[in-house]
Chains A and B, each alone.
Chain A
Amino acid sequence: MSYFEYLAEFGPRFVDGTIITALQTVLAAVLAIFIAFVAGLMRMSPNPLIRGIATVYIEIFRGTSLLVQLYWIFFVLPLFGITLEKFTAGFVAVGMNLGAYGAELVRGGILSVPRGQWEAALALNMSPTKRMIRIIFPQALLNMLPPWGNLLIELLKGTALVSLISVSDLMFEAKQINSTTFLSIQAFGTALVIYYVMARFAITPFMRWLERFMSRKLGRA
């Protein structure tokens, strides 16, 4: 079977898998960004209890493997009465894991805003909320965008693990096709190339565009 015949036969399944992977990536990214901001801000709270909760969360999720967390959420959480459907369990695990890494980026981004900006906002009598939203956040966001690009690629790669709890993503389809055809280099090779294209020609250009857009908005371009 030539590779074109192979693609003609299995192409649609690769496309289906890619759509699920893209969906998992987007949902996990939304969750990760949300968690990163909440945990990152909690880490900077003056209240030691709030800071402690965030630290424990971050250390647990950064200190263990994504795969362990995924299995734990999928197999153990139901014992506590929280049963997540496999699709949900997949992106929740990936999002919670990468959110813990993102929290440190958020903290670093906020700390990278020069002290004078805080003082100036204070001098202008801005409320803490307004200061954060109007002055600190936009600058912090721009500073943390480049590492977020890497993190999103890690997140895309992380979603491949959801195939292990039988979410029919790209990796899962590749495995299924491989087990019926035994043409491993075609099955796994095609999947690898698709992941690469998604990372290199979707996520990376998007983040570049976002950086340019943000810096234009802040008048730094």
Chain B
Amino acid sequence: MLGWLHIAVPPAPALFGQLLIGLINGAFYAMLSLGLAVIFGLLNIINFAHGAQYMLGAFCAYLVLNYLGIGYWPSLLIAPIVVGAFGMLLERFFIRWIYRLDHLYGLLLTFGMALIIQGVFRQYYGSAGQPYSIPDLLAGGQDLGFMFLPNYRAWVIAASSVCCFGTWFVIERTRLGAYLRAATENPTLVQAFGINVPRMVTLTYGFGVALAALAGVLAAPIYQVSPLMGSNLIIVVFAVVVIGGMGSILGAIVGGFALGIIEGLTKVFYPEASSTAIFVIMVVVLLVKPAGLFGRTV
């Protein structure tokens, strides 16, 4: 009996360690699926280039550090602005042309963009990861008694939570967010009230992309900066989105964190399944509640 328990309950440091990794992954899932949901809400396209834009954020931080000597903290602002502006250009010159078509064309178009972006970076930087060091201020960590908490990881969780709930607040609780939600429901009517909907669409896409880029900068010191860092992640995020449903901003955030934690726990109890845990959960959700946990029927 006791022997069995000993196997089933892993030592606390391992458990909390994996829980922390899960929470970190969950932070990135939440930020990315939030960006996807915001973009989908107004543009009605699934942004397949989201993973590539996350990678662009990380690379932006890496490049300004190595060529201009600009460190981590300014990068947190520079990367989202640069990549977000790039996203707005993409929206203005490419994505805009396909709004009247089936949603699937948006998926294909942004998939093509992702291939281009990733291909260019792979050509110049190879598939290997480039290191990006943790800023001095956040080096080291705290010994909490039951586990060791690196400062940088605590910062990532805090920063992404603030971003996610800030976004939620803006969309659900401010006038700007009200315009946004109204335009999601009925763009023609909102335009008739004198609001420049096309510009709002461009800005929204830019914001979603900037969120992905910010996630990329946060991820740079944890994972290495590599051209393909976003390509497998985006598929997991798609599964998160299918599980959560795109109906609710809060759903994307809570779902992202929760699934990261579940994935982390799987690593402790059944490591073989950890890479597929989220996909299995997706299958179960599809069977039980096809519209997603927080979603409306689509």
Chains A and B belong together in one complex: no
Q: Which residues of B pack against A, CB within 8 Å?
A: none
